[in-house]
Amino acid sequence: MATEGKIVKAVSGFYYVLADDVIYQCRARGVFRKRKITPLVGDVVKFEAENLTDGYVIDVFPRKNELVRPPIANVDQALIVFSVKEPELSLQLLDKFLVHIEANHIEAVICFTKMDLLSEEERKQLEKIVNVYHSIGYEVIYLSAVNEEGVDQITSYFKDKITVIAGQSGVGKSTLLNRIDPTLNIETKKVSKQLGRGRHTTRHVELLHVAGGLVADTPGFSSLDLNQFNAEDLSQYFPEMNRLRSECKFRVCTHRSEPNCAIKQALEEGKIAKTRYEHYLAFHTEIQETKRRY
């Protein structure tokens, strides 16, 4: 008899499906290969149980979204974790993460870790950056390694949601989850001095029960490509630009050299941050160069 469940882990061709508080180790039927469907963590699936713990996935229900890196479906929100030091904060990489999140219609919450490493002056500079993201509409949380700053605030976001935790390697994603729920005991490693980033400690995507919700502990990675994007659509994924796109003189406006561009006007008036606009230009160029190569 077919049963409905949710894939909470995928490892080496096995899919671990949660149904009625029982996890079944399942294989996928060969029909998925013919249909070119790969079940993902987060998928709601139909499966047939062979016994009390094993079975076969026979169908995947439609997804509301899916990510390629990390490979996960039906995400409600993304907690984007970046350190302010060790490794140094990269706003361009942060904005690239946000573009991917916006393109998949996922709510984003930004978490800055290792706040205890900042001097008072550095913290004031960071607050100016945070004000930019607040003005766009993003929630921003500070987290310190030496006290409980931000932990309760983060915990409140998890209830009844599937949350993906993503960001640079070595910024403290696994440490954060361990602080919220010490029973998880997720492996952590220090940042490599030579590379300025952490070694990968998470090898697969898995949904963990955390604070009343499901949280994906995902592999860390330091770069995201934009080859699935079209340059003309890019400004849709910058919320402060998307709100103004319809006011440009030209319907297809790249917001670079066209006259009467509402986005460039907003930039001049200080309504759009210079860093955000510069990152938009960099991503636009990256997309164009990638398309030319292929």
Report the candidate in 2, 79, 69, 81 with the shortest Cα–Cα distance to residue 41. Answer: 69
pLDDT at 37 over 50: yes
- Measured CA to CA, the distance from residue 292 to residue 294 in angstroms comes to 5
pLDDT tens profile 62-96:
999 988 767 889 999 999 999 999 888 999 999 99
CATH class of 2-60: mainly beta
Query: Residue 194: its pLDDT value, please?
Result: 38
Pick the more confident residue, 293 or 207. Answer: 207
Average pLDDT on 199-218 reads 74
Q: Are 82 and 168 in contact (CB under 8 A)?
A: yes
- Measured CA to CA, the distance from residue 167 to residue 70 in angstroms comes to 11
Query: Residue 203: its pLDDT value, please?
Result: 58
* The pairing of beta strand 44-49 with beta strand 2-11: antiparallel
Query: Residue 50: its pLDDT value, please?
Result: 86
Query: Residue 238: its pLDDT value, please?
Result: 98
Domain boundaries, the chain: 2-60, 66-217, 231-293
pLDDT tens profile 111-156:
998 899 999 999 999 999 999 999 999 999 998 877 777 888 888 8
Q: Please list, in sequence order, all residues whose beta carbon lies within 8 angstroms of the beta carbon of residue 151, skipping any fewer than 6 positions away.
A: 143, 179, 180
Beta strand residue intervals within the chain, DSSP E: 2-11, 14-19, 22-28, 44-49, 54-60, 66-67, 72-73, 77-83, 107-113, 139-142, 162-167, 191-192, 197-198, 206-210, 213-217
Amino acid identity of 59? D
Fold exhibited by the domain 66-217: Rossmann fold (3.40.50)
pLDDT tens profile 9-32:
999 889 999 999 899 999 988 777
Fold exhibited by the domain 231-293: Ribonucleotide Reductase Protein R1; domain 1 (1.10.40)
Average pLDDT on 220-245 reads 85
- Measured CA to CA, the distance from residue 145 to residue 41 in angstroms comes to 30
DSSP structural state of residue 195: T
- Measured CA to CA, the distance from residue 192 to residue 249 in angstroms comes to 49
Cis amide prior to 39 (ω within 30 degrees): no
Give one word for 128, left, alpha or beta, with left for phi > 0 and alpha for psi -120 to 50.
alpha
Query: Residue 217: its pLDDT value, please?
Result: 64
pTM: 0.83
pLDDT at 34 over 60: yes
pLDDT tens profile 152-204:
888 889 999 999 888 776 666 777 788 888 787 766 554 444 334 444 444 57
Query: Residue 276: its pLDDT value, please?
Result: 98
Q: Which residues of 60-80 are buried (b: 16+ CB within 10 A; e: fewer)?
A: beeeeeebeebbbbbbbbbbb
